[in-house]
Structure 1
Amino acid sequence: MNISDSLKLFNFFFNRYSDDTRLNKNGQIRFYNFWDTQLPHEMWFTRFIQHHKLNSNYSAKINFYSVLGPAETLKYRRKGLNIFFSGENMHDERFDEYRLACEKKPFDLSIGFDGDNFGSNIRFPLWILYLFEPESTYEDIKVKVGRLSKKSADNRVRFCSLVASHDWNGIRTEIMDSLQSIDIVSSGGKFRQNTNELYTTYNDNKHEFLKQFKFNICPENSNAEGYITEKIFQSIEAGCIPVYWGANNRPEPEILNQDAIFCWNQGKDNTNLLNVINDLTMDENKYIDFASQQRFLPHAAEVIWSYFETLEQKMRYLTTQ
């Protein structure tokens, strides 16, 4: 090992130790390359583990890794259980280095949106962390799904919203420009912002901002079968009709009513879709009829609960070996 490699390794372990001290001091459950807005005891996975007492007979560390930091972090393993989680599309070229690190040295458990790569892997998409508390029971999920499935369509006086920070693949620009031919699209985020009320009126509360609008543009950052983030669920939770792109235009087909979602075909002729949206905008009764559809399928709660059960069973197995 030459001097340059030695310095690189020293800097890596020094930074890793610094992160450990800052975010993970004295904790059994530790997080690396995760969100830095939460402390370890506040994390969704910590609460899930503690609620199910998955660490009650497990004395070693439980280390979680993600992609919100250097890919180099994924190349090293700590003592104890090592778990990888990402809500991102790991097949996207932006995450090549992270994916290769996972494939070269698989984790004890890998959690993501697809559930068929990186060795020991289960499907647990990011949107679950946004929509449900980690302590949720089946009844909790059933009640919330029922409440979200049929939202009031009344008193929606504004046309369409968009909240985004970027548009690296051009899909948001394409949809926004097309819908602007019908009426004003209010963009409250950093990308093409034309209103600041998300921050000045709603204190950066996306849910309260979206509640004013009939439609919401909510595409993914990239397209892959099964890759669905929180965006479409935030749209539904706010009572908007989603204008969606991603997941090969089949967002959670076992959970969501596809007839209650408008899917945009990137780079293709969307004239028919635009005509339907225009008709709903011009005719309040048609809009209410469409917006009043059940958003979730009848067995949605069972499917969602199965994700909770699978995660618990897999982690219980790993912590009792």
Structure 2
Amino acid sequence: MCQGYNWWDDKADQFWLARFIDHYFPAHQRINLFSCFGSPNLYIRFYKGKKIFFSGENLQASTVLQFDPIYRDHRINEVDLALGFEFRSEPNYYRFPLWITQNDFIHPKWTLDEIQAKINQLNDPSIRLSPGRTRFASQISSHDRGGVRGILLDLLASIGQIDCAGRFRNNTDELKTVYGDRKEEYLSQYRFNLCPENSLGEGYITEKVFDSISAGCIPIYWGEYLEPGILNPEAILRYEKGKEQELYERIRLLWEDEAAYRSFAEIPPFVDGAAEKIYQIIQGLHDKLAQTL
């Protein structure tokens, strides 16, 4: 049994980590899953059973999303195991980034061969060269606390129509009314997707760039870390302050010149060995859990 506390929804028992534990450790005792959404005045140490803290959020950037400073250490002295994107040296901490779990990008039961099949599928340029991909760009977000989404929208608006399907600068309801909130299917119309992170942090990367790749869009990304050994930076367009005009000209060329777009779309978004690296991360989690549970 996995029970969630300060979780982002009421479905902690259905979260990727809970399903991974249930699959590989079916005889496990009660597990308490803690996160950072809610009051930190939760006396974790007094809960019966094993205690795991998980967050895919940038807990150091509290000025962006207002996380209580007490979460910055992942409550590492109160739990049996802490998981996050950061690089930490404590023996009861393991770097396990959120993007692996979101939307079952990698299913918790997958073997190395199944992960490799997923990477091969996404590296196939036909997904990006689909004839139905006729729209310019999409942007789906609920806010712009990091400040970069608005910059990108203003920068690129003169190139083509940018459809904003989230709450931030919303100008279309198609994601809900036509596609029933099926994000990947919705994005299959677009050549580009604006997908900046909320903040910068060493090792901080969420599902945003992976969602773009899964849908066959070329990501227009802002972030500090691009998972070396997994993602191919040559296949991702990156926003850098001071280089706005350079980014503008490149995206304009890719939109207006079909040959240039085709050439870019043929670049695989994952490097050789990416599947093995992902599998290694998951096996490391398995080993940590085996020591903990």
Tell me the equivalent position of 2:183. Answer: 206
Deviation at 1:110, TM superposition (A): 0.5
Tell me the equivalent position of 1:34. Answer: 7
Alignment pair present for 1:85 and 2:54: yes
Q: 1:199 to 1:314 in 2, by over 3 A?
A: same
Tell me the equivalent position of 2:140. Answer: 163
Alpha carbons 1:74, 1:98 under 8 Å: kept: no
The code of the aligned residue for 2:182 comes to N
The code of the aligned residue for 1:260 comes to A
Tell me the equivalent position of 1:107. Answer: 79
Alpha carbons 2:44, 2:78 under 8 Å: kept: no
Q: Take 2:219 and 2:88, find their aligned partners in 1: how far apart are those partners? A: 28
Q: Take 1:286 and 1:122, find their aligned partners in 2: how far apart are those partners? A: 41
Per the alignment, in what secondary structure is the counterpart of residue 67 of structure 2? Answer: helix
Tell me the equivalent position of 1:182. Answer: 159
Alpha carbons 1:74, 1:102 under 8 Å: kept: no
Alpha carbons 2:44, 2:79 under 8 Å: kept: no
Select the residue among 46, 50, 57 that pairs with 2:22.
50
Give aligned-pair identity as a percent. 40
Tell me the equivalent position of 2:255. Answer: 281
Which range moved further: 186-195 or 146-155?
A: 146-155
Tell me the equivalent position of 1:149. Answer: 123
Deviation at 1:102, TM superposition (A): 3.8
Deviation at 1:289, TM superposition (A): 1.1
Select the residue among 202, 209, 212 that pairs with 1:232.
209
Per the alignment, in what secondary structure is the counterpart of residue 109 of structure 2? Answer: coil
Q: Take 1:61 and 1:300, find their aligned partners in 2: how far apart are those partners? A: 34
Per the alignment, in what secondary structure is the counterpart of residue 160 of structure 1? Answer: strand
Per the alignment, in what secondary structure is the counterpart of residue 101 of structure 2? Answer: helix
Q: 1:139 to 1:178 in 2, by over 3 A?
A: same
Structure with greater proportional helix content:
1
Q: Take 2:254 and 2:72, find their aligned partners in 1: how far apart are those partners? A: 46
Select the residue among 294, 312, 319 that pairs with 2:268.
294
Alignment pair present for 1:251 and 2:223: no
Alignment pair present for 1:127 and 2:99: yes
Q: 1:32 to 1:190 in 2, by over 3 A?
A: same
Q: Take 1:163 and 1:308, find their aligned partners in 2: how far apart are those partners? A: 29
Alpha carbons 2:195, 2:209 under 8 Å: kept: yes
Deviation per CA, 1:247-288, whole angstroms, max 9, x where unpaired? x2x41122011000011013x231111111111111111101
TM norm structure 2: 0.91
Alpha carbons 2:40, 2:68 under 8 Å: kept: no
Alignment of 1:61-80 (within 5 A): 61-73=30-42, 75-80=44-49
Which range moved further: 307-316 or 101-110?
A: 101-110
Q: Take 2:34 and 2:186, find their aligned partners in 1: how far apart are those partners? A: 33
Which range moved further: 207-216 or 96-105?
A: 96-105
Select the residue among 92, 107, 116 that pairs with 2:88.
116
Q: Take 2:72 and 2:84, find their aligned partners in 1: how far apart are those partners? A: 15
Q: Take 1:106 and 1:119, find their aligned partners in 2: how far apart are those partners? A: 13
Q: Take 2:60 and 2:91, find their aligned partners in 1: how far apart are those partners? A: 15
Q: Take 2:89 and 2:198, find their aligned partners in 1: how far apart are those partners? A: 20
Larger Rg: 1
Deviation at 1:115, TM superposition (A): 3.5
In structure 2, stretches of 5+ residues that fail to align are none
**How many aligned positions are there?**
285
Q: Take 2:88 and 2:46, find their aligned partners in 1: how far apart are those partners? A: 22
Q: Take 2:86 and 2:49, find their aligned partners in 1: how far apart are those partners? A: 25
Per the alignment, in what secondary structure is the counterpart of residue 94 of structure 2? Answer: strand
Q: Take 1:74 and 1:98, find their aligned partners in 2: how far apart are those partners? A: 12
Q: 1:276 to 1:166 in 2, by over 3 A?
A: same
Alpha carbons 1:107, 1:119 under 8 Å: kept: no
Q: Take 1:74 and 1:174, find their aligned partners in 2: how far apart are those partners? A: 42
Q: 1:68 to 1:99 in 2, by over 3 A?
A: closer
